[in-house]
Amino acid sequence: MTWIWNLLIGMLAGAAPLALAAMGGLASERGGVINIALEGNMLIAAVSTALVAAATHNPWLGLAGGIFAATCLSWAHWLLTQRFLMDHIVSGMALNVFAMGAANFLSKQYTNPSAGELPVLNLNLYFTLAILLPFAAMLYLKHARGGLRLIAVGSDPAKSRQMGIFPDRVRFLGLSATGVCCGLSGALIVSNARYFTDNMTAGRGYIALAALILGSWRPIPALLACLVFGLFQVLQFQFQGSQLLGVAVPREVWFSLPYLITIVALAGFLGKSKVPSGLGRY
């Protein structure tokens, strides 16, 4: 039975950063803010976690630094989309590009710990959070006043305003949560590798976005999608170099699967997706 255990552990390890980031995306998109900047948030969190932890020799401060950096980037997204009324996609894109540059700049400018020397927190902390957070999000969205307001703002910002809820204030809180979740995700990625390399999030912010879409912007289905993507990642290691039906399958096929499934889902072949109707509106 050990192999099943190993499979599950591997799946969880692959899914955890995705699930954390997907919850970040949820907090933003359920409030009506399109957020393709998850990737940038995670990257800036990863580099900040590594640099702060290496400088202070304190993993908790590292995590705090990562969360702070990602939250700042998220606030920038709020400022640009809600105050400057900039297109959400353009803002997210620009922030991604900026974060990619800033991560490279910071890692070159300050001492990047060499491989394996980074003080890190126990990874189980992150894994537990990754599993618990979606359930907490589900309960919060269903029963708490804040969660209901978030959904109201994300469904119809104009009507919410008439009801006395300020969409931009609710969205500010939502985007702050995005920053915290992406911060955790980026910190997990860098803690797992124990040093920072350029572009180390490797598109996982986009996969998290894909999981969110596959899960129709609901926390538990999104978590399940992340687990499936985590499973692909394990299978890719398992099947590496081996043959499937007599053909050597390049590992890139496994890498591509999450994206391909999302495209099929977007094409509406996997049931109707329920997009928050106030997405991108004011």
Partner 1 sequence: MKIRHWLLATAGLGLILGALYLAKVSPLEAARTLFQGTLGSASAFSGTLRETSPLLIAGIAVFIALRAGLFNIGAEGQLVVGALTSAALGLRFPGPVGLILGMIGAAIVGALWALPAGLIKAYRGGHEVITTIMLNSVAVFVTNAIVAGPLRDTSQESPTTRMLSDQTRLPWLFKSPALEISSGVLLGLVLLIAFASWLKSYVSGYELRAVGANRRAATLAGIATKKTIVWSMTASGAVAGLAGGVQVMGYTGRFYSDFSPGFGFNALGVALLAGGSALAILPAAFFFGMLAKGSAALQILGVPKGTSFMVLGVLITVFAAVRYRKASMESAS
**In the complex, minimum distance from the CB of residue 96 to partner 1, in angstroms, rounded to a whole number:** 8
Note whether 108 binds partner 1 by CB under 8 A.
yes
Query: In 110-166, which ranges are continuous DSSP H helix?
Result: 123-143, 145-155, 157-162
Note whether 235 binds partner 1 by CB under 8 A.
no
**In the complex, minimum distance from the CB of residue 252 to partner 1, in angstroms, rounded to a whole number:** 4
Q: Are 271 and 51 in contact (CB under 8 A)?
A: no
Pairwise CA distance, residues 62 & 244, whole Å = 43
Q: Which amino acid is at 23?
A: M
Q: Are 223 and 134 in contact (CB under 8 A)?
A: yes
247, containing H or E segment = strand 247-248
Note whether 208 binds partner 1 by CB under 8 A.
no
Note whether 80 binds partner 1 by CB under 8 A.
yes
Binding range to partner 1, per CB under 8 A, among 115-123, 130-138, 176-184, 252-260:
252-260
The 109-138 site mask, x for binding partner 1 (CB under 8 A), equals x-----------------------------
SS (H, E, C) 102-122: HHHHHHHHCCCCCCCCCCCCC
The 10-39 site mask, x for binding partner 1 (CB under 8 A), equals ------------------------x-x---
Note whether 226 binds partner 1 by CB under 8 A.
no
**In the complex, minimum distance from the CB of residue 194 to partner 1, in angstroms, rounded to a whole number:** 22
Q: Which of residues 84-103 bind partner 1 (CB under 8 A)?
A: 84-91, 93-103
How far are the Cα atoms of 28, 172, 269 from residue 154, in angstroms, in the given order?
Answer: 9, 12, 25
Note whether 246 binds partner 1 by CB under 8 A.
no
Distance of CA 89 to the CA centre of its chain: 16
Residues binding partner 1 (CB under 8 A): 34, 36, 80, 83-91, 93-105, 108-109, 203, 206, 209-210, 213, 250, 252-253, 255-256, 259-260, 262-263, 266-268, 273, 275-282
